[in-house]
Amino acid sequence: MNTINFPEDILVVDDTPSNLSVLVDFIHEAGYPVRSANSGKLALQHIQTQLPALIILDIMMADMDGYEVCRILKADEKTKPIPIIFISALGDELKRVKGFQVGGVDYITKPFFPDEVLARVKAHLNIRRMQQDLEMSNAALQAEIKVRNRMEVKLRESEEKFRVIFENNSAAIAIIDLDTTITIVNDAFCQMIGYTKEEVVGMSWTKLIVPEDLERITEHNQRLMSEPQATHEKNEVRLIRKNGELGYTMMSVSIVLNEQKYIASFIDITKRKHAEADREKLIGELQQAIVEVKTLRGLIPICSSCKKIRDDKGYWNILESYLVKHSDAQFTHGICPDCMAKLYPGLINAKTDDDVKHEG
């Protein structure tokens, strides 16, 4: 008989000392840890102290038969999984059938044949071990399923939050593969470029960027891919809308390395650029107008009598007013001698008489 080292604990229950001794001895010699009990009640106490891996249980015992012990064990969830092999006399078919009915898994007959007993013990210990492994695997699987379910719930919640933020973002956003194929866009992006989602998804975004800007943006994105920690700069980019018009945008690009995608967001600054262009044009026109207004040149219509000047609207203006309006000249007022004589002859005559007296 080959001796093996086996860690399982086997409980042998029989109220006949000789049978008990024989079973315990050759099971122990086979290398199995073994305990014994000479009654059903004592067996139940041993089991409560330490659960055995397998029980060899005699059917016919004085204080409590094997059937009753088996019923008690199978009624308890803690002891229910323990396999029970009944001991029966040769020819007790009805007792063996009843043993299976109350929860036994096998039986051995008297007189005992050690090789048969050990073969059945080994087989049911292996079955029990496989059951335990299966239970542990199942428990681990159930735990993993719960974790996965929680993760899926969180993932769905995250996806829903992303969708809401993505779709309702005022910025135009596009998710782009590294080969430049547009995969996802939000409504703001479609409104900005004039394409529908069906039209733009699958399109290369290089078709939307003005060629002069594309080389600069491509270099920037390649640098981000090779240097993930690089600063994410904002770049002014001109997009070609569906109607052919140019749209001015401020673009920011992020790299999602594990997904191998770009996330590009655009702020439409077309109105601002047009306003800036209109403002620069107006400033230029005003500056030119100021230069033209303050420089007197060309033919100026002037009255040969009163010396008034006619302006562009056909109105006649006093020379002084015209010059103030159309040049940078400023005036101080006085009276020339001719006008003095004409306007104030008495004042001129009085001055002459005084001069004559001083000479005399």
Q: What is the pLDDT of residue 298?
A: 62
| Global model pTM greater than 0.85 | no
Q: What is the pLDDT of residue 44?
A: 95
Residue extents of the structural domains in the chain: 10-135, 169-270, 294-352
Average pLDDT for the chain: 84
71-93 confidence digits (pLDDT tens): 999 999 999 999 999 998 767 78
Q: What is the pLDDT of residue 10?
A: 95
Q: What is the pLDDT of residue 313?
A: 81
Strands 54-58 and 10-13: parallel
Q: Answer yes or no: are the C-beta atoms of 267 and 281 closer than 8 Å.
A: no
Q: What is the pLDDT of residue 4?
A: 42
334-349 confidence digits (pLDDT tens): 777 777 777 777 766 6
As a dihedral over the C-alpha atoms of residue 318, residue 319, residue 323, residue 326, rounded to 10 degrees, the angle is 60
Q: What is the pLDDT of residue 257?
A: 64
300-320 confidence digits (pLDDT tens): 787 877 778 887 788 888 877
Q: H-helix or E-strand containing 41?
A: helix 40-49
Mean pLDDT calculated for residue range 210-236? 77
Q: What is the pLDDT of residue 277?
A: 86
Residue type, 203: M
Q: Answer yes or no: are the C-beta atoms of 119 and 85 closer than 8 Å.
A: no
* Report for 48-52, 321-325, 327-331: range of highest mean pLDDT: 48-52
130-175 confidence digits (pLDDT tens): 988 998 999 999 999 999 999 999 888 887 887 887 788 888 899 9
Q: Answer yes or no: are the C-beta atoms of 240 and 246 closer than 8 Å.
A: yes
Query: Picking from 43-52, 89-98, 236-245, which range would have the lowest pLDDT averaged per residue?
Result: 89-98
254-300 confidence digits (pLDDT tens): 877 666 788 888 888 889 888 888 888 888 887 776 666 555 566 77
Mean pLDDT calculated for residue range 214-235? 74
CATH of the domain spanning 10-135, picked from 3.90.1640.30, 3.40.50.2300, 3.90.1150.10, 3.30.450.90 = 3.40.50.2300
Domains 10-135 and 169-270 share a fold: no
Would you state the CATH architecture of domain 169-270?
A: 2-Layer Sandwich (3.30)
Q: Answer yes or no: are the C-beta atoms of 221 and 229 closer than 8 Å.
A: no
The CB density around residue 38, as the number of other CB atoms within 10 Å, is 18
